[in-house]
Amino acid sequence: MDLAYTEEEEAFRARLRRWLAAVLPTLPARPDPRDWPARRAHDTAWQRRLHDAGYAEVHWDASPTIRLIFLEETERAGAPYVGANFVGLLHAGPTIAAEGTEEQKRRWLPPVLRGEEVWCQGFSEPDAGSDLAGLRTRAVRDGDAYVVTGAKVWTSHAEVADWCELLVRTDPDAPRHRGLTWLALPMDAPGVTVRPLRTLAGTAEFAEVFLDEVRVPVGNRVGAENDGWRVTMVTLSFERGTAFVGEVVACRRVLGELARAARANGRWDDAVLRRRLGRLHADFAALWRLIQWNVSEAMAVPAGRAGPGARGGVGVPGTGASVFKLRYSHARQELYDAAAEVLGAGALDAGHPWVADRLSSLSYTIAAGTSQIQQNIVAERILGLPKGR
């Protein structure tokens, strides 16, 4: 498999680098990471600048390789992260681009690209744990609407979101994976209550969401009724396969910073630490190659209605996304454990960025599918092992 970039792709990279070099020095200071309304304003303003410069559509109206280059270069340049736009740009948007009708694409994709609307993710539930198919939020058809009742938890960016990608149960008598439906929920609908959850780091990037007979138009359904599990697998493939690209680049940058800090404070003399950093260097290099492989696979098999001849062609990462997510989650935790070794007593300083990232890394073996679930997917879908009893 050829993982090299084409001349056209390298030209896009060079053009993007020049634009970033000119624009980034003019940006305002970033807000307090704990102030999500301010972060939303900051993140959406950055998205608007990307849109006006012609770079917004790389998230779903360009090849996966162009998308990869965009995420790589913006992270390397220190550009603002997608932040509050994370779900809309990297999860819901690509899913709608791959699975939505033309009318749905026209309604929901442009506002996300322009930084006008923010999405959150309503998949997990308090009683379902890692068993996503065990969700209980009900949606009952009533004319041209679904009446939705239930509760969601770990709903990313719900506090500042306009829309929610919502997974509901529409057929309680069907087998668990076959009675689910993917809906776009307007967060200002009557009956929606958001209760922010605060993390160890003091931020509230996710929340509990309570739904009390909320009416959602049938036209907000993406995919067929009771086909929500398949549509959700498309969403999770994007989440696990390409949404972490910028973070891998950031981890490789942090690894270099750790080595320089260790040399400066004398901890580089510890041979065990040096070996640990060397192994992490190899891990992240391998993860980057796996990302390229996943992108190549996505380009080879376009998804949904896009088809091989469609403009851009929205490719969906395959089962390799679970391999990537499984290893990346643990590698990230190991990276920031190593950072604690380099910092020494400074690892207790909650204001240090590496300490904050270490606290955040604890969630990575749970978020976007627990490591245990990813191991099952790899065992059953890739290795062909029998299901456990």
Token pair, residue 298, equals 């996505």
Tokens of 388: 């456990």
Relative to beta strand 138-142, strand 221-222 is unpaired
Instruction: Read off the DSSP letter of residue 315.
Output: B
In 10 A of CB 313, how many CB atoms? Answer: 22
- For 111, 127, 177, 194, 367, the CA distances from 124, given in Å and listed in that order, are 25, 9, 15, 14, 10
Phi, psi at 208, each rounded to 5°: -85, 145
- Please state, in angstroms and rounded to a whole number, the distance separating the CA atoms of residues 210 and 132: 17
For residues 119 and 185, give the distance between their C-alpha atoms in angstroms, rounded to a whole number: 9
Known catalytic membership, residue 73: no
| Residue among 99, 125, 239, 297 flagged as catalytic | 239
C-alpha torsion 74→76→77→82, nearest 10: 40
Secondary element (H or E) of residue 361: helix 353-361
281 touches 362 (CB < 8 A): no
Exposure class string for 193-228: b at 16+ Cβ within 10 A, else e: ebeeeeeebebbbbbbbbbeebebeeebbbbebbbb
Catalytic amino acids? 239
